[in-house]
Amino acid sequence: MALREGLGSRSTSSSLRLEEGSAGRRTNFSSFSSSFDEFGPPYADLPMEILVKIFTYLTPSDRREASQTCRRWCEASHHTAFLENFWLVLHRQPFDANGPPVRDLLQSFRHFPNVHLSEVDFERIGNFFTHFGPHIRRIVLRACEIQERDLTAILRRLPALRALTIESCRDLFMCVRLFEDAAEREELRQTLSNVTDLSLTHNQYLSDAILHRMVEIMPSLRALALAGCHISFHKGLYRKFYPGDGKQPSESVLTFHYVSQLIEQRKGSLRALDFGETLVDDNALEVLAGMSPALCLERLELNRCEQLSSRGLGTLITAQAAHLQHLNLSKTFRLTDSCLLQICRELRGLRVLKMRECRALSNQGVRELVQLPALEVLDISYCEDVNGAGLLEGIASRPNETLRELRVRALNLCERSIIAISEQLSALRILDLGYCFHAVSDLCVQFIFRNLVRLTELDLESCRKLSDEGLTGLGMLPIIQRHEQQQQPTAQPGASLGNGSVEGNAAPADDQARPATPEPEPALQAATAHMRISLRSRAEREIVEDAERKKQLLEAMQRKDNLQSARDDGTTFSGYSIGRLQQLRVLNLTGCNRLTDVTLLCNFKLLELRDLYLAQCQQISVDGIRALVRGCPAVERLDLSECHSINDRAVEQIAFHLHRLRTLSLRRCYQLTDFSLDYIACHARRLRELDVRGCKHMCADPAMRLVNLPLLATILPGKQDENGANGVFGAGSSASSPSLPPAPPPPAAPSRASMRI
């Protein structure tokens, strides 16, 4: 359900609040500075150049928060240095210059360099693009109801345009007269002379003639995307629609024969092509290879091209070996190890390689990835025949300071391969280990926390072997020492650790000199089973064991705190906690159902964390949530789906303390009632998306209790969750099999204009 309201009253009140707040703060600062010298000068009076320089070190989210401090900081946050990443997003809105929200946007003092219009029905354009058009550099039209005359009128007013995206606009390309007037095309050619990127993806009725006319009005084109279009690669169809000399492009069909002619004409300037989700075959790639050396491709997208094989791709790789830097071959099922071997040997400058779900790949090809010295992004997720041995002999066999992003989701890895990744790939910023059921253990996570402290995104979805010990480090140091002694039997105990405590402090010298002390009593191990016959079911036994383990962990935490407060030797017991990853912004722990409140209570303080997914962590309760909201105050997206221990008090803590929260999923949290909706209505003033499907104790129409939230645009209600396990978030959705990717999330449906960075 979407709540529809105009922006007029809210925009005005927001502006008034900002002015009053800034005035009040300035008065207080001036009075304080005149009476108390120790307060120093007010920071609002800093020169604008210094403020802008300081703001460059902040993330977009932090700049947005700082902009609400006073008027001058608001001006600094909207400096031209930061406008490049500002987007105006309109979704499912009528575009009418005489009504909201377009009418209210016309009164805005700011400019919008990027505009994204999704499922918008164009009624009256008015002077919107006359007012904002000279500053628009990128515009996206996705599934919009727009006519030929409206598109022409818009493009005429965009002299600074650099990138144009028209996606899934069905009615627009059904008009065969689009850009048919020669005088009109000449005018647009002068206006759009700076356009370098053209994307016409997923347009079913795009034809050769329309494509010809659109490319004609963009003389500086460098990137062309035709992913998902119905391109015909069969020569027989070309002969049918091009009788005679075949010089005039067809108004009825889009053929690769004509597309290749356009590429031939622009081969001197084209640098990127996207034929993803089409029937492009080996013959087509051989035609592109024949255009070398004039055609110098730096980026090639061939996602889900099922007709491709190693023959055609190998020919193109040889032709573009000196230029290609970005290559996407995901879901190209017919590619084999021979193709990957050729990529590794010839594309020495390759920086991005995506081969997700290339099922024919094996360790033989993956071990050669070490030959790519400039590789920064690698995705080999869901390659069923790749296992830990391939990584150990390949990218994890030697130190690598270049690789920044590694996705090995749902691979049959081993514990040793993940430890090698953490030790050899020290420059990683993004690591995806989701659905590695048997490999990701507490020991692996400890090495990740010790070695990869600069991670910004960590995905451990459905790694069910993870427990509180792994994320807190309680009792893990003896296990780490024992593992390292097994790997290096000649080394002295503790010598290779160097920083064995949670905080990274070195162990005392006398501890390093003496032999290994006996392992302390395993306070974190399960209690000895009673020597009696149990009549409990397997599920009941697991519940009892988890409860006992949680109790023992809480006791261990208390002992650790007591030891640290007494300055005793408590560092010999604790390993590494997740609190070491202070740059972490995205954390996915969906399906890690062995985690309890202990994980959130013990050093779970991540000030930079923005997205947190805890779906199906059924042992997390209000005690853990209370610690979470204080340790991670900047969370903007939180998924607690199927956390059955979450109650109304936990939602109260979330709504009251997480002031930046924008997206919240509480799907199938059966203990929640309407009190949760009341807490959200009172405190979650910035919430935009809410999922309460399957909350059977809530009212049937939660929107009626949330009408006072000014930004809430998407509510997914319903006592019965018809979609099963599919959540509102992509990273938090669950899948039943590790060999298949999780189902894509349904598109969000905001009903208001919004500013997004």
In this prediction, residues 168-187 reach a mean pLDDT of: 89
| Distance from C-alpha of 347 to C-alpha of 371, rounded to nearest angstrom | 9
* Burial of 245 from C-beta contacts in 10 A (0-12 / 13-18 / 19+): exposed
In which element (H, E) is residue 378 found? strand 377-379
Residue 541 has pLDDT above 60, yes or no: yes
Distance of CA 721 to the CA centre of its chain: 25
Task: Concatenate the DSSP letters of all residues of 527-544 into one string.
Answer: PPPPSS-----HHHHHHH
Residue that has been written with the tokens 């998306």 in this structure: 689
Distance of CA 660 to the CA centre of its chain: 18
Residue that has been written with the tokens 């790749």 in this structure: 386
pLDDT value at position 174? 87
In this prediction, residues 105-126 reach a mean pLDDT of: 90
pLDDT value at position 109? 80
Q: SS in 3 state form for 88-128?
A: EEEECCEEECCCCCHHHHCCCCCCCCEEEEECCEEEECCCH
Residue 9 has pLDDT above 60, yes or no: no
> Which residue would you say has higher pLDDT here, 754 or 703?
703
Query: In 3D, which of 311, 265, 267, 270 has the Cα closest to residue 292?
Result: 267
Which residues neighbour 280 within 8 Å (Cβ) at sequence distance 6 or greater? Answer: 231, 233, 256, 302, 305, 307, 308
Task: Concatenate the DSSP letters of all residues of 736-750 into one string.
Answer: S-TTSPPPPPPPP--
Q: What is the pLDDT of residues 350-403, one digit of tens each?
A: 999 999 999 999 999 999 999 999 999 999 999 999 999 999 999 999 999 999
The mean-pLDDT minimum among 60-74, 645-659, 709-723 falls in 709-723
Residue 708 has pLDDT above 60, yes or no: yes
Q: What is the pLDDT of residues 219-250, one digit of tens each?
A: 999 999 999 999 998 877 666 666 666 678 88
pLDDT value at position 157? 95
* 670 CB-side CA count, 13 A: 5
Q: What is the pLDDT of residues 348-360, one digit of tens each?
A: 999 999 999 999 9
Residue that has been written with the tokens 């306070």 in this structure: 523
User: What is the pLDDT confidence band of residue 324, given thresholds at 50, 70 and 90?
Assistant: very high
CB atoms within 10 A of CB 398: 9
Q: Is the peptide bond before 101 cis (omega within 30 degrees of 0)?
A: yes
Residue 668 has pLDDT above 90, yes or no: yes
Residue 698 has pLDDT above 90, yes or no: yes
- Cβ–Cβ under 8 Å, residues 477 and 500: yes
Q: Residue 95: beta bridge partners?
A: 122
| Distance from C-alpha of 377 to C-alpha of 513, rounded to nearest angstrom | 42
pLDDT value at position 732? 42
> Which residue would you say has higher pLDDT here, 750 or 57?
57
> Which residue would you say has higher pLDDT here, 124 or 526?
124
Residue 266 has pLDDT above 60, yes or no: yes
| Distance from C-alpha of 704 to C-alpha of 698, rounded to nearest angstrom | 12
In which element (H, E) is residue 611 found? strand 611-613
CB atoms within 10 A of CB 344: 21
Amino acid occupying residue 170: R
Residue 616 has pLDDT above 90, yes or no: yes
CB atoms within 10 A of CB 156: 16
Tokens found for residue 131 = 């007012």
| Distance from C-alpha of 465 to C-alpha of 471, rounded to nearest angstrom | 12
| Distance from C-alpha of 467 to C-alpha of 550, rounded to nearest angstrom | 10
In this prediction, residues 171-175 reach a mean pLDDT of: 87
Q: What is the greatest pairwise CA distance in the chain?
A: 93
Phi-psi region of 748 (alpha: psi -120 to 50; beta: other; left: phi over 0): beta
Residue 738 has pLDDT above 50, yes or no: no
Q: In 181-209, which positions are buried (b, 16+ CB within 10 angstroms) versus exposed (e)?
A: eeeeeeebeebbeebbbbbbbbbebbbbb
- pTM over the 0.95 mark: no
pLDDT value at position 199? 97
Per DSSP, the three-state class of 164 is strand
User: What is the pLDDT confidence band of residue 723, given thresholds at 50, 70 and 90?
Assistant: low
The mean-pLDDT minimum among 42-46, 455-459, 557-561 falls in 557-561
> Which residue would you say has higher pLDDT here, 17 or 343?
343
Rg (CA), the chain: 29
* Burial of 336 from C-beta contacts in 10 A (0-12 / 13-18 / 19+): middle
Domain ranges of the chain: 48-80, 655-719
Residue 139: phi and psi, rounded to 5, are: -140, 135
In this prediction, residues 642-656 reach a mean pLDDT of: 95
User: What is the pLDDT confidence band of residue 726, given thresholds at 50, 70 and 90?
Assistant: very low
Residue 90 has pLDDT above 50, yes or no: yes
In this prediction, residues 622-633 reach a mean pLDDT of: 95
In this prediction, residues 252-261 reach a mean pLDDT of: 90
Which residues neighbour 333 within 8 Å (Cβ) at sequence distance 6 or greater? Answer: 306, 357, 358, 359, 360
Residue 643 has pLDDT above 80, yes or no: yes
Average per-residue pLDDT in the chain? Answer: 82
| Distance from C-alpha of 530 to C-alpha of 370, rounded to nearest angstrom | 52
Query: In 3D, which of 39, 66, 40, 41 has the Cα closest to residue 52?
Result: 66
User: What is the pLDDT confidence band of residue 271, given thresholds at 50, 70 and 90?
Assistant: very high
Residue 524 has pLDDT above 90, yes or no: no
Query: In 3D, which of 229, 184, 236 has the Cα closest to residue 208?
Result: 229
pLDDT value at position 656? 96
| Distance from C-alpha of 44 to C-alpha of 24, rounded to nearest angstrom | 13
Tokens found for residue 751 = 């009903």
| Distance from C-alpha of 23 to C-alpha of 45, rounded to nearest angstrom | 13
Residue 144 has pLDDT above 80, yes or no: yes
pLDDT value at position 291? 95
pLDDT value at position 186? 94
pLDDT value at position 250? 84
Query: In 3D, which of 620, 611, 676 has the Cα closest to residue 639?
Result: 611
In this prediction, residues 616-627 reach a mean pLDDT of: 94
Distance of CA 194 to the CA centre of its chain: 30
The mean-pLDDT minimum among 338-342, 473-477, 501-505 falls in 501-505
In this prediction, residues 139-157 reach a mean pLDDT of: 94
Residue that has been written with the tokens 């997923």 in this structure: 202
Query: What is the percentage of the chain residues whose pLDDT exceeds 90?
Result: 62
pLDDT value at position 490? 44
Which residues neighbour 730 within 8 Å (Cβ) at sequence distance 6 or greater? Answer: 742, 744, 745
The mean-pLDDT minimum among 106-120, 388-402, 492-506 falls in 492-506
In eight-state DSSP terms, residue 83 is G
Residue 12 has pLDDT above 50, yes or no: no
Query: In 3D, which of 425, 331, 296, 415 has the Cα closest to residue 369?
Result: 425
Per DSSP, the three-state class of 78 is coil
pLDDT value at position 45? 80
Query: In 3D, which of 429, 361, 418, 415 has the Cα closest to residue 395?
Result: 418
pLDDT value at position 145? 92
